[in-house]
Chains A and B, each alone.
Chain A
Amino acid sequence: MELKDKVDILAAAAKYDVSCSSSGSSRMGEKGGLGNAHPAGICHSWSDDGRCISLLKILLTNQCIYDCKYCVNRASNDTPRVMLTPDELSSLTINFYRRNYIEGLFLSSGVVKSPDYTMERMIEAVKKLRQEYRFHGYIHLKAIPGCDRRLLVEAGMLVDRMSVNIEMPTGESLKLLAPQKKKEALIGPMRFIKDRIAEERDSYKTLRNTPKFIPAGQTTQMIVGASPENDLRILTLSEGLYRSFRMKRVYYSAFMPVVSHPMLPAVDKPPLLREHRLYQADWLLRFYGFSTGELLDPDHPNLDFLVDPKSDWAVRNYHLFPVEINTVDYEMLLRIPGIGVKSAEKIVQARRVRTLDDDNLKKIGVVWKRARHFITCQGRFYGDSFRQEDQLKQELMPYHTAKKLRTDGGEQLSFFHEILPQSDLQNLFLVKAGEI
């Protein structure tokens, strides 16, 4: 078989893995060697689905002994099976890298023979790149659940980032859809990696030049929409993963109906809008100082489809507003709809040298249309007054959604969800689900 066909099969089989970021590592190059890592990461291209291509994301093989219901590579699927040799993989990586197509390698694999055997083959390939080709670019390695700890340690010294996919938001869903994968086999390596990173970090204090163990940390991914968990459940899990496992990222992947199975929900389109809202909420947890409990609660367990989670929070907490832009602290600035991290920082800078008015804010880049309902400038309020929550909410929606609602449903805003089925809403939004 030609290399081109192998690339086709193994890239197509790897494409459902969401993670592509190449950030978090500052691995240095070496004179006469090839490559280094860029701490902020670099995107090299964007594929036709709008997702960024940063790493050569590919499987070592698509053979697999497991039969997870949602996966294209499951054993019972009738599809051609191929495997890359370490030399083919090295040649692809090096030659793509020299032409600046990619930032490095993201190597994953189906499970052949046993987890240990598979992990050993992956390590062999990565070792060849690092040692024989003296490649210092970014490498993200997928850890095979159930492999020996010794192999995790060996791999961790070679790569920049490692990830274990948690796959499903709960153990029950996992048991149902991926019966051969045990929750403990997924959580175990995550905990091990976290502890090991912490341990190594301590030893840097005394030993300067030790090679680093997974310098860019670990990430994970879960499939959304294949199992019945609500957003509250999912975000609570993410929050826990960030807090107790020091995850760099949790990725969400809208369930793709790649296979039909009686145990899987019948969907004609992946729930992209839900995935998008989860990412927005995830950002609020990591960069905006929100907690899951503020965004969702048992009476309100799912993210709103019509407005973004921050606007939704602001509508429900309208009693906290308006705030005075010249005195309010940074934490609260971040919570105003229409103000992001960048404009909040600019406001903090600019108000040290002058008192800000409405024109100043527009110049700084605040989205005035949204922010004006929540702020005062030197005591003056520029917003409208609202009799009902829904009126304010409509004001914060993307233009097209609000317009569609007005023509379809008049002023009966409380019937939103009956008027517009979710798939309709999905078409209304320009879903910005690309990865960073």
Chain B
Amino acid sequence: MLSYLFDGTFEGLLTCIHEAYYRHETPDHIIWGDQLQENLLTCCAQIPTDNGKADKVLHSIRAKISADALEHAFHAYLSEINDIGVWIYRYLRLGWKVGPSVDRYLCEDEVSAVHEAGRKVEWESHKMLGLIRFRELEGGIFYAPIGPDHNIVSLVAPHFAERLSDQTWMIHDVKRDIAAVYNKTDWTIAVIRQKKALPLHGDELEFQRLWKQYFKSIAIRSRRNPGLQRQYMPSRYWRYLVEKN
């Protein structure tokens, strides 16, 4: 068994792909930090991230496969699903062989695995565009904690930068200790280890009350259907929803 170990960044993953390709190896796992389970049978190769190599791979995907394929690979990487690294490597190998038509090979395992992972990420990030809830803090910052299955903060941030362009906001992925932070001009990703509850703005609770009232009043009682509600809005997302607490 051969495992590649990288630092968890997309550049790191691309470096692994570069190494595997030129070493003529097919690793069984391409993993990072917390996915590592030491095993006597596992032979681990630490792959240091090399931006030059990563860049080469990136350009080659764009030029020899397609921009769509790069997007599929990137979204699949954000899924953080077990072993997705190897699937991405195999998907790109096929891509370099058959070119831009790789996304038509829907019956090949590597293509369906990458598409499936990407689809999950896209589904969740679209859901989050609706389910993120901001709370106004003292000082006028709008703060939204989330706990998504996949690493989608960087996918939802541009939407809010455009929409809420005149307010400072922060979308905090509590699971991953990262946040998208926006200062009325640009957004960036920052590492945040805030665990304490933050003091709310004076008006905040009043608007939460109004929203909860609205949420209750808009439901038609004779059509109650909690199963359908959960189907669209899985209960794992309820923790940070104002109307569900």
Contacts and interface: CB of A to CB of B under 8 A. Distances in A.
Interface of A: 3-4, 7-9, 11-12, 14-16, 29, 31-36, 38, 42-54, 56-58, 92, 95-96, 98-101, 103, 137, 254, 256-257, 269-270, 272, 346, 349-350, 352-354, 356, 359-360, 363-364, 430-434
A3 B218 contact: no
Contacts of B226: 48, 50
- Which of the four size classes fits the interface of chain B? 35 or more
Nearest to A9: B217
Given A47-B218, A100-B134, A349-B103, A36 B210 contact: no
Interface stretch (B4-12, B28-36, B188-196, B227-235): B227-235
Contacts of A3: 210
Interface of B is mostly: helix
Contacts of A137: 163
Contacts of B223: 49-51, 254, 256, 270, 272, 433
B104 A349 contact: yes
Contact of A101 (B98, B103, B228, B242): B242
Contacts of B219: 15, 47-49, 51
29 contacts: A7-B214, A11-B217, A29-B163, A32-B166, A33-B166, A34-B165, A42-B129, A43-B130, A44-B131, A45-B130, A45-B131, A45-B243, A48-B229, A49-B228, A50-B223, A51-B219, A52-B232, A96-B207, A98-B134, A99-B133, A99-B136, A99-B242, A101-B242, A270-B222, A352-B104, A354-B105, A354-B107, A360-B107, A431-B228
B220 interface: yes
Contacts of B227: 50, 430
Q: Which 6 A-B pairs have the closest CB atoms?
A: A50-B228, A50-B225, A47-B219, A11-B217, A49-B223, A48-B219
B106 interface: yes
Contacts of B214: 7, 11, 56, 58, 96
Contacts of A44: 130-131
A98 B164 contact: yes
Contacts of B231: 50
A92 B210 CA distance: 8
Contacts of B133: 99-101
Nearest to A103: B130
B217 A8 contact: yes
